Amino acid sequence: MKAVSDFRRPATREQRHIPTLLRPLDELARRSDYLFAAPITFERQLGVREFLPKYLFAGPGDSRSYLRVGLFAGVHGDEESGVHAAVELLKRLHAEPELARGYELFVYPVCNGEGFLESSRWLRSGNDMNREFWNGSHEIEVQLLEKQLRHLTFDGIISLHSDDTSEGLYGFVKGHQLTRHVLEPALEAAGRILPRNYDRSIDNFDANNGIIELGYEGILSAPPEQKPKPFEIVFETPHHAPLDKQVAAHVTASLTILDRFRVLISEAQNI
């Protein structure tokens, strides 16, 4: 695992080189029984091949009853903490596979590669990727992710973001009726690392103890036609907090979400 001090300095453009950033995961995947690299290749222009990073972590357990969850980071390229957290989460799961028991976890650590390289919120076109979903977008990254969301029909979706207008942790919830009972423990656990935002209004939405139940149109989410709806959580860290603490909060929240959802589903099946 990367040393804490490594996350305390702003990343240079060279440090944002995606193949270098992901090389440790690719090396782990080559010898792991659980982690698999499955990049999505595409051509933005004729003859120029690019890739959208994607990893599968298939935890221990019966694959016929896996819970399938998608985790997305780097939708906004200037939100570095989620990208590093996705990488650190997979390293942690490789070291402790039992944490992912019963899960098929699909991780997309850098959804907006050009934005991440340039430390820019936007796509190459200047559009905000997180306002483009399910609106007939012409953005190739959005189209590729929409195909993934439709094909894999996730039981849960976790999006990792950071907010430069917030001084504390918070999250958006949408979809599955159990979502609030999954997000609240995640905020509590991550709140031991960074403070929670208790403002009554966050990002121009009504909030209750750091939980928002509305959201923007066009964000990364399940297909409108998917039934039953998955749980959908957007977990936000305060962008100006130390990067190492943001990364730790994201990892802690993600592990807590997976743990609580597994428990709740198990309890529901035994009712």
Domain boundaries, given as residue ranges, for the chain: 4-269
Check whether 270 has a pLDDT greater than 80.
no
Mean pLDDT of 99-124: 97
Which of the following CATH numbers is that of domain 4-269: 3.40.30.10, 3.40.50.720, 1.10.490.10, 3.40.630.10? Answer: 3.40.630.10
- Give 58-108 pLDDT, tens digit per residue: 999 999 999 999 999 999 999 999 999 999 999 999 999 999 999 999 999
Q: What residues have CB less than 8 Å from 10, skipping those under 6 apart?
A: none
Q: Write down the residue that tokens 């001084």 correspond to.
A: 167
Please state, in angstroms and rounded to a whole number, the distance separating the CA atoms of residues 179 and 192.
21
pLDDT for position 10: 57
238: nearest Cα among 159, 158, 169, 160 = 169
Torsional class of 110: left (φ above 0), alpha (ψ -120 to 50), beta (otherwise): beta
Give residue 109's Cα distance to chain centre.
7
